[in-house]
Structure 1
Amino acid sequence: MKLKLLILGVFLGVFSMQSQEYFPKNDGVKTRNTNYTVFKNAKIHVDPQTTIENGMFAIKEGKITSVGKSINVPKNSIVVDLKGKEVYPSFIDLYSEFGISKPKRAEDGNGPQYDASREGYYWNDHIRPETNAVSQFSFDSKEAEKYHKAGFGVVNTHVPDGIIRGTGMLVALTPGVSEGDRILNDRSSQYLSFDKSALSRQSYPTSIMGTMALIRQTYLDADWYAKGNADNKDLALEALNANKGLVQIFSTDNLLNELRADKVGDEFGIQYVIVGSGKEYQRLDKIKESNATYIVPMSFPEAYDVEDPYLTSYLSLSEMKEWNQAPANLKMLSEKNVPFTITTHSIDAEKDFRNNLLKAIEYGLSKEAALASLTTVPAQTIGQSNKLGVIKQGAWANFLITSGDFFEKETTLFENWIQGEKNVLESMDITNITGKYDLKLDGKTYELDITGEAAKPKVDVKMGETKIGSKLSFDNNWMSLLLSSPDTTKTEFIRLVANVPAPSKTISGKAILPNGNETTFQATRQDSSEKDKKDDKEKDEKIPEVMPVTYPNIAYGFKQQPKQENVLFKNATVWTSEDEGVLENTDVLVKNGEIVRIGQGLRAGGAKVIDATGKHLTAGIIDEHSHLAASDINEAGHNSSAEVIMEDVIDPTDIGIYRDLAGGVTTIQLLHGSANPIGGRSAILKLKWGKSAEDLIFEQAPPFIKFALGENVKQSNWSGNRFPQTRMGVEQVFIDYFSQARAYEAEKKIGGENFRKDIEMETLVEILNGERFVTSHSYIQSEINMLMKVAEQFDFNINTFTHILEGYKVADKMKEHGVGASTFSDWWAYKYEVNDAIPYNASILNKVGVTVAINSDDGEMSRRLNQEAAKSVKYGGMSEEDAWKMVTINPAKLLHVDDLVGSIKTGKQADLVLWNEHPLSIYAKPEKTMIEGVVYFDLERDEQMRKDIKKERNELIGQMLKAKNSGVKTQPVTKKEKQRVHCDLLEEVK
């Protein structure tokens, strides 16, 4: 008998476990209403463009069955009279973490993790397309209630973890039903981000550019895998291929990353839906060009507390402008016809969403566009146009019932129906007394302004311009109002009471005066035209003037981009950096961005004439080694990062660009750092201030890559256990990778369509075949010799040794190898391996016949490279012309762009600098810096910009002081210092 009971118990236990799989949990027993419910006499917002006055609609079993001016009322219908009420479709949030527990971060281990921790999945733990939100979902009633109060009926939720995050799910926020009924789509979309998984400590990637390279490689591998080429099963790649047809939602946290995400998508023919930053207004032209739909957060920065002038001096103009401009972002997107939807992500849906939405409307967002962004746009984006976001036959019965226009502050949201289930937020039986009234009492007239929710109204009372102390309570349709006496010298009160059973234009009742006498009062609601006039006046007073967007949107940004001009420089001392040397009293004519004539007595021919008498005209300075204008410098996750691209992380808003222009610099090589022996691919840039990231790229320049030797790559100056740990290990890294590249190239030739493309190996093959040039960070002679020998072993040349502070020891060998030098003028002793550096290095290398450039590797030094070049006149007796060539034609030769820039020669691009003094003088200042015929820096314009910046700061400070005085919440000013960027800067992606 005991055995039978045991078997029965096991059977029931098994059945119970299985039943949990097949019968989803129900939040209580609930009978589904199968009757019709008909709503009549409502103002129905069918969609953002269509409204039915005094309309009707019917619902049954969670769906809308009919809607119109008049509909047939089925028998046994429940009829709800919504006279005076308005009905809207419930809102949709496409980016949420609703019902998903936050992933727990992996515990720190001993040292970095380089390999994946999972078997049967992709080689990188941060690629997790197999993740399904539905498997981790648990309905959160409290959180759902917050969404209800904000007007939302449906959310798209996901697991916010990893770079490729897996599938999200579309969930109706319906309490009291089964999970199966709530889930509208269990594979609604795939999510991506630039953030790593919290579940893994795997080091790679450590940068945005590494993340972008990883996504590219993953897409390539998924395509290769889909063709049946893999020997082993990969569950991650299988999931990624299965998710291809889903909506792809890419989460970003700043404007540059929004555009970077779109760039990756374009490369693979994928149109991402992009979760934005709220700063899209700063680059609307590029946002529009992306053709993406944007999910925009409804968070705005708080005003700063600027009462302390000392602290306020640390507040940047860009921070001030962001506070001023951000609320107008949605308006600007709408005017540009950029499709967008709104998310409550990063704010409290219940407390902040509606206030911020109304603020956006105050700043010019139309109500129609606001409604579309919450209903039809997200529905269309997620493929639910006929089911969500509209009140039409066949759609889900997801709708809001309000006391009036939802986009007005005094409107009350009474009910939020989801899948035909009613969620009562405020009783519709409560009389809404909000509005502006003229109160007549005891021969005096007061202005009464009742605001807030219908059940919890608030009041402000004025007599003329004098604010009267007041306290309002409203319960069971009885209004009680306590007023302070208009005579402020007395502590006396007037008590008012009235019954208001229904909305009325007039509220009448009894008043008890301070002396105990009773009288009557009458409060008359202002007519709508008067109210609108006063509201408009208050709105105009409340909303500060929105400052114009500049390019970039920081100090010294252009309100209008400078244009290319035809210019004739007259009577200049021209430093040609060519065999002609320095030409006195010479004219240079620029047309269509090129130097077309050089000589004396040239005529303008319609060109703008600049008198350069007593001034010096040179080619623009070229910095062969720079880290300006970059969001990332190092991808340190592997000892080779040949797959990463510095072009991916160009930051066109870096003020260093403008400062470089003010120092006469027109071209830079943006180099990867020195965290690993084989670094990333370079970006050669023209410093076109105000342009977008891609517009800065020097299109005609050949491709480069950064290598590194010495202390940094073997991690002498920071903790790390990644190979290599020694200088001989560095050599082995190069030998191993180039051996792999040769083998890869051989396999590629016979692999055909089935060959697996490897971005890293493709780059190394380009080096081996002379299609990509190498710039190598270097210091000591032994390693310089080593890398040249490795290059010769694999039959290619090193193009440039940068830093090269012991170059003077091996100048003859460098000459023989054919490598150039890009060095510092007089840096030494800042770490052990530079102890033998001397300031005569550049001069010695130059005399041997090595092409020598002076570089910066420093944002501060970069803008005074003219002075750095001058030091070799003193240290080594170099001629002034040769010294000047080290920052113009020589770096142009090292970058293989000397046929285009670097000297003043007919046919070259007009990258020119007009100096007020001898260019090697410490007193010299550029008066104009021109790139391709466009003046990007002008000393006179700079002086005017400084005045404009001061004026704009003062205006914004005044706006913030006014905002604080009006009672808005402020944030403290904190001092922020821009990090100085060098080769060894390490970043870490979250």
Structure 2
Amino acid sequence: MKKLLFLLLLGLPFSRLAAQDYFPNNESVRNENNNFTAFTNAKIYVTPTQVIEQGTLLIREGKVINVGKSVALPKNCVVYNMEGKTIYPSFIDMYTNFGVANPAAYSGSREPLYDTKRKGFYWNEHIRSEVNASGFYKYDSAKAEEFLKAGFGVVNTHMADGVARGTGLIVPLSDESKTNKILFDKVTQHFAFTRSVTTNQAYPSSLMGMIALLKQMYHDKNWYKNGNSTYKDSSLEALIENEKLVQIFAAEDKLNALRVAKIGKEFGINYILKGSGNEFERIDDIKKTNAKFIVPVNFPDAYDVSDPYQANQMELADMRFWNQAPTNLKVLTENGVVFAITTDKLKKLEDFKSKLLKAIKYGFDKTKALEALTTVPASLLGKPAELGNLKNGAYANFIVTSGDFFDEKTILYENWVLGNKYVVNDMNSKDVRGNYELTFDNKTYQLKIEGELSSPKAEVKTSEDKKVNAKLSMANNWFNLLLKSDDSTKVEFHRLMALVTDTNQFSGKATMANGTESYWSAKKTSVTEKKAEETAKLEINKVFPVTFPNLPFGNLQKPKQETLLFKNVTVWTNEKEGILKETDVLIKNGKIAAIGTNLSDPSAKVIDGKGKHLTNGIIDEHSHIAISRGVNESGHNATAEVTIEDVVNSDDINIYRNLAGGVTTSQLLHGSANPIGGRSAIVKWKWGLSPDEMIYKNSPQFIKFALGENVKQANWGINNPTRFPQTRMGVEQVFMDYFNRAKEYDEAWKAFNAQGKKGKVKAPRVDLELQTLAEIINKKRFITCHSYVQSEILMLMRVAEKFGFRVNTYTHILEGYKVANEMKEHGVGASTFSDWWAYKYEVNDAIPYNGALLHNQGVTVAYNSDDAEMSRRLNQEAAKAVKYGNVSEEEAWKFVTLNPAKLLHIDDKVGSIKVGKDADLVLWNDNPLSVYAKAEKTMIEGVVYFDIETDEIQRANLAKEKSELIMQQLQEKNKGMITQEPKKKEKIEYHCDTLEH
């Protein structure tokens, strides 16, 4: 009997037994759908490149069981006939903050905080790597509906706060179970160049500070990981624990993308870069990073330029970006850059499809678009089997559409997430959108229906093109249109109703405003395919070419090195030969190849220099142009770890203006907000090239120090300043303290390098700040010091001598004439102003003869700009040395050429016209010290980066381009497209004391 019972049990369907629970669980009676669901006769995109016509998709318990042309259906199967429908994998947005609200903003004292108050965490509160977004996640039904309507099934979300932001998680956009369901926790680790809102900690206050902080964080992580720390740091432990997760960095700009890629290369991290949509402007450099990207589609709306006064305030660069931005995805694809698409930064999620279709109209491939929304983000997130496809075993996340998703008229009906259905549009709803001829009450009207399928909007006009007040509603395919009666004295409506079975033509009963009844009809007016194609073409604006940089006066092609022969020119050699008349200069391979008379070279382009002057390029020892997001890292009193080299902005129009003024080389200095500032960048103004290509190769290393009012916060406007120092004597103490610490640090590393490999000494912690200061002690880095008052000038020289080095340059140095002998004895140079004085209290004793007096005492003197406007007129500043002090013209010219080259220790390469030196030259139409002198050609290493004739042509072309762009935007407005108000961007011109907000 027992054997018979056993055999009977074996005969029962196994799946039924396996699925049956005899006892309900302790929490509630189960209500799970364990049935199969099949979708038949559909066009199925298993992947973007694997498509099945008339296929079947079989799902169960939230996963794909089978997909194919012929799939056997189980008995317990719910079948949906999808004849004429298309099924795609649901989309994935891998960069959101869905359901994770930003933390509460800091609300404590407004005084800046310099030390952390947190215990057991990293010393900087903008590092929040310990944050796990899952601990803050709460399903957002309203936002989820927006995503679902746009076609998304899952999103990766994180807390968008801080520099190191912690981990992200993948969540489904289905609240079927009304729980905060998490699909995958701790998938990603996030970073950005933004401060946390949770703290008032002052550091970092600039982009270069954030970059330095990240570098220091990674050094600390490695040091901590090797067991060198005696204290617990939860932030570093989280970094170590999560270092193998997907690393996502919100670069948010093309140049930031290059900066992040460099950090990744230095520390062996393959970041996925969240872009901004301007990658096309530097596509060659973007491609070289080999990074993968997450790219938004938030192309800007056209500007309303109907007011000519407002249009005149618009930057051409902004208009050009509006014109070019829709090509970004196409350009990335053509250059082999792997990327996913995100909805981030869209004003409204409902705009997602229209923005994406715009990119497709501008050449973005549809298959690549689908990949960027499905398989690519799934792969980047490390979930290629589970997400982004409809293969066996994948999650049952898919959308059902009326056809090609990338067709404007295609309707998204349903979005299934983990096997749960979300209805976007009723599949049985008739799509009445279109243009109709409406006949009613013996009159003919034009009826236009547009908007969402679920909530269409009607526009009705008479045969005389007069608009009629109308309101349309649709429910269960019942068409209900209210039309205002012709009687203008009353607010009465006619009611037109019909059950729509055929969207090409339908009719019904009309109830008039007076209560009588009649009939009406609507017949769709057709548009031929040819006309539709022509209309689509008209919607694509002419796209203007990208220039290098993509700004006014950028070059269509990057300029190339040339062989040039200047004939019969007056040459200012800055060498013992002095000024040579009627002389030839040959430029070859970027160098000065020959100087003499009757020179020839058959390969050279000959330039007639008769009556003109050839000089070497002007060198600005102290400049603050072309720096991104902050010239000062003011968060600490010493910030030697930061460097301007990290934040060179190659897209600053001041570069071109400097070239037009004959400037070829500049030292970009940190500001004067702290006694020990940041490291500088020596750059050559190679207009159109990348930041790294501008940085002087193997240049001597400099750092900015500062004295006086700025560093003691005398003019900061803080009610109760808290940062040390507050006095000039405190400034001296800062130098003493930091150099003593740097000396100890240097000795510790030397001891480790001598014995550490034998295992006797633990590795010291890498400290980028002290490492830099140790370079000064070891004479590997030079100081340029902001200075005014003689007492402090003498003080810093004494500090330097105490630690065995010399101050290289005093900049400003407006009381230098008082201590010229001491400066000469110390060996320090002077980079000063020609005639700026009395602009603040500590400048009261400045005199315009300062430069000449220092020069006469044997101090190497340069004139610098410290100002974007002055930097393009430094030739005239040099002339003032002739006026104030009777300096000879030759020596005065050296104030802005050879002398700054000497101060920067690059006079072996630039600063004079000598065979073998770099061909950094300027051709002037007059004596360069004349107020009438114009730079006609400015070249760097034999490449002409400014040409006055080309400049004139460009001005005419730019005026034409702006006019065409204005017309394009006017047409957009006339078509009824969304426009935005013109905005004039206020550009910040950095000076020594400029602070970031």
TM-score by length of 2: 0.91
Amino acid at match of 1:572: V
Task: Give the secondary-structure state (helix, strand or coil) at the position aligned to 1:423.
Answer: strand
1:399 counterpart residue number? 398
Task: Give the secondary-structure state (helix, strand or coil) at the position aligned to 1:249.
Answer: strand
Q: What is the CA deviation profile of residues 812-856 of structure 1, one whole-angstrom value per residue up to 9, with x for unaligned ones?
A: 111111111111001110111111111111111111111111100
Shift of 1:507: 2.7
Distance (whole Å) between structure 2 residues aligned to residue 134 and residue 938 of structure 1: 58
2:364 counterpart residue number? 365
| 639 and 495 in structure 1: CA distance in 2 versus 1, 3 angstrom threshold | closer
Match of 2:587 among 583, 590, 594: 590
Unaligned runs of 5+ in 2: 1-24, 486-491, 758-762
Distance (whole Å) between structure 1 residues aligned to residue 29 and residue 849 of structure 2: 88
- Does the 8 Å contact 2:837/2:843 carry over to 1? yes
1:599 counterpart residue number? 596
Amino acid at match of 2:141: S
1:762 counterpart residue number? 771
Amino acid at match of 2:373: L
| 468 and 47 in structure 1: CA distance in 2 versus 1, 3 angstrom threshold | farther
2:172 counterpart residue number? 172
Task: Give the secondary-structure state (helix, strand or coil) at the position aligned to 1:58.
Answer: strand
Match of 1:908 among 913, 917, 921: 917
| 940 and 442 in structure 1: CA distance in 2 versus 1, 3 angstrom threshold | farther
2:68 counterpart residue number? 68
Distance (whole Å) between structure 2 residues aligned to residue 167 and residue 30 of structure 1: 33
Match of 1:873 among 869, 878, 882: 882
| 185 and 746 in structure 1: CA distance in 2 versus 1, 3 angstrom threshold | same
- Does the 8 Å contact 1:587/1:600 carry over to 2? yes
2:639 counterpart residue number? 641
Distance (whole Å) between structure 2 residues aligned to residue 714 and residue 474 of structure 1: 70
1:88 counterpart residue number? 88
2:845 counterpart residue number? 836
- Does the 8 Å contact 2:292/2:338 carry over to 1? yes
Distance (whole Å) between structure 2 residues aligned to residue 323 and residue 524 of structure 1: 36
1:896 counterpart residue number? 905
Distance (whole Å) between structure 1 residues aligned to residue 620 and residue 424 of structure 2: 64
1:717 counterpart residue number? 715
2:706 counterpart residue number? 708
- Does the 8 Å contact 1:150/1:349 carry over to 2? no
Question: Counterparts in 2 of 1:28-43, with a 5 A limit?
Answer: 31-43=31-43
Q: What is the CA deviation profile of residues 486-539 of structure 1, one whole-angstrom value per residue up to 9, with x for unaligned ones?
A: xxxxxx9999876433x67x535479999x99899684685xxx6543332222
| 708 and 30 in structure 1: CA distance in 2 versus 1, 3 angstrom threshold | farther
Distance (whole Å) between structure 1 residues aligned to residue 140 and residue 453 of structure 2: 27
| 403 and 885 in structure 1: CA distance in 2 versus 1, 3 angstrom threshold | same
Distance (whole Å) between structure 2 residues aligned to residue 466 and residue 412 of structure 1: 30
| 32 and 553 in structure 1: CA distance in 2 versus 1, 3 angstrom threshold | same
Match of 2:661 among 653, 657, 663: 663
Q: Are residue 228 (structure 1) and residue 227 (structure 2) matched?
A: yes
Distance (whole Å) between structure 2 residues aligned to residue 448 and residue 386 of structure 1: 49
Q: Are residue 858 (structure 1) and residue 861 (structure 2) matched?
A: no
Moved more, 105-114 or 163-172: 105-114
Shift of 1:333: 1.7
| 75 and 399 in structure 1: CA distance in 2 versus 1, 3 angstrom threshold | same
1:728 counterpart residue number? 729
Task: Give the secondary-structure state (helix, strand or coil) at the position aligned to 1:241.
Answer: helix
2:428 counterpart residue number? 429
Question: Counterparts in 2 of 1:736-815, with a 5 A limit?
Answer: 736-751=737-752, 752=756, 754-815=763-824
Task: Give the secondary-structure state (helix, strand or coil) at the position aligned to 2:830.
Answer: strand
2:414 counterpart residue number? 415
- Does the 8 Å contact 2:664/2:940 carry over to 1? yes
Task: Give the secondary-structure state (helix, strand or coil) at the position aligned to 1:859.
Answer: coil
Question: Counterparts in 2 of 1:494-573, with a 5 A limit?
Answer: 499-501=499-501, 506-507=504-505, 509=507, 523=523, 526=526, 531-573=528-570
| 224 and 369 in structure 1: CA distance in 2 versus 1, 3 angstrom threshold | same
Q: What is the CA deviation profile of residues 343-375 of structure 1, one whole-angstrom value per residue up to 9, with x for unaligned ones?
A: 222335543222222222222222212211111
- Does the 8 Å contact 1:30/1:177 carry over to 2? no
Distance (whole Å) between structure 2 residues aligned to residue 348 and residue 31 of structure 1: 39
Amino acid at match of 2:391: K
- Does the 8 Å contact 2:441/2:518 carry over to 1? no
- Does the 8 Å contact 2:39/2:58 carry over to 1? yes
Task: Give the secondary-structure state (helix, strand or coil) at the position aligned to 1:455.
Answer: coil
Match of 2:964 among 955, 960, 971: 955
Distance (whole Å) between structure 2 residues aligned to residue 509 and residue 356 of structure 1: 36
Question: Counterparts in 2 of 1:274-285, with a 5 A limit?
Answer: 274-285=273-284
Shift of 1:44: 0.8
Task: Give the secondary-structure state (helix, strand or coil) at the position aligned to 2:627.
Answer: coil
2:6 counterpart residue number? none
Distance (whole Å) between structure 1 residues aligned to residue 379 and residue 110 of structure 2: 48
Shift of 1:483: 9.6
Task: Give the secondary-structure state (helix, strand or coil) at the position aligned to 1:188.
Answer: strand
2:139 counterpart residue number? 139
- Does the 8 Å contact 1:117/1:200 carry over to 2? no
Match of 1:691 among 689, 692, 699: 689
TM-score by length of 1: 0.92
- Does the 8 Å contact 1:625/1:668 carry over to 2? yes
1:15 counterpart residue number? none
Distance (whole Å) between structure 2 residues aligned to residue 671 and residue 766 of structure 1: 18
Shift of 1:679: 0.7
* Number of residue-to-residue matches in the alignment: 954
Amino acid at match of 2:321: E
| 865 and 602 in structure 1: CA distance in 2 versus 1, 3 angstrom threshold | same
Q: What is the CA deviation profile of residues 539-567 of structure 1, one whole-angstrom value per residue up to 9, with x for unaligned ones?
A: 22223222211111121111111111100
2:9 counterpart residue number? none
- Does the 8 Å contact 1:25/1:178 carry over to 2? no
| 374 and 773 in structure 1: CA distance in 2 versus 1, 3 angstrom threshold | same
Match of 1:613 among 610, 615, 627: 610
| 29 and 926 in structure 1: CA distance in 2 versus 1, 3 angstrom threshold | farther
Distance (whole Å) between structure 2 residues aligned to residue 272 and residue 292 of structure 1: 7
Amino acid at match of 2:974: N
Task: Note the aligned Cα RMSD (angstroms).
Answer: 2.9
| 352 and 572 in structure 1: CA distance in 2 versus 1, 3 angstrom threshold | same
| 595 and 464 in structure 1: CA distance in 2 versus 1, 3 angstrom threshold | farther
| 87 and 436 in structure 1: CA distance in 2 versus 1, 3 angstrom threshold | farther
Q: What is the CA deviation profile of residues 637-682 of structure 1, one whole-angstrom value per residue up to 9, with x for unaligned ones?
A: 1111100010111111111100000000000000000011111111
Moved more, 878-887 or 447-456: 447-456
- Does the 8 Å contact 1:204/1:638 carry over to 2? yes
- Does the 8 Å contact 2:571/2:581 carry over to 1? yes
- Does the 8 Å contact 1:410/1:451 carry over to 2? no
Task: Give the secondary-structure state (helix, strand or coil) at the position aligned to 2:56.
Answer: strand
Distance (whole Å) between structure 1 residues aligned to residue 447 and residue 331 of structure 2: 35
Q: What is the CA deviation profile of residues 196-215 of structure 1, one whole-angstrom value per residue up to 9, with x for unaligned ones?
A: 22111111111110111011
1:209 counterpart residue number? 208
Distance (whole Å) between structure 2 residues aligned to residue 512 and residue 166 of structure 1: 62
Amino acid at match of 2:646: D
| 682 and 348 in structure 1: CA distance in 2 versus 1, 3 angstrom threshold | closer
Q: What is the CA deviation profile of residues 577-635 of structure 1, one whole-angstrom value per residue up to 9, with x for unaligned ones?
A: 11110000000000111110000111132100000100000000000000011012000
- Does the 8 Å contact 1:511/1:519 carry over to 2? yes
Amino acid at match of 1:818: G
Distance (whole Å) between structure 1 residues aligned to residue 133 and residue 650 of structure 2: 37
1:161 counterpart residue number? 161
Task: Give the secondary-structure state (helix, strand or coil) at the position aligned to 1:40.
Answer: strand
- Does the 8 Å contact 2:212/2:642 carry over to 1? yes
- Does the 8 Å contact 1:916/1:926 carry over to 2? yes
- Does the 8 Å contact 1:442/1:521 carry over to 2? no
| 958 and 483 in structure 1: CA distance in 2 versus 1, 3 angstrom threshold | farther
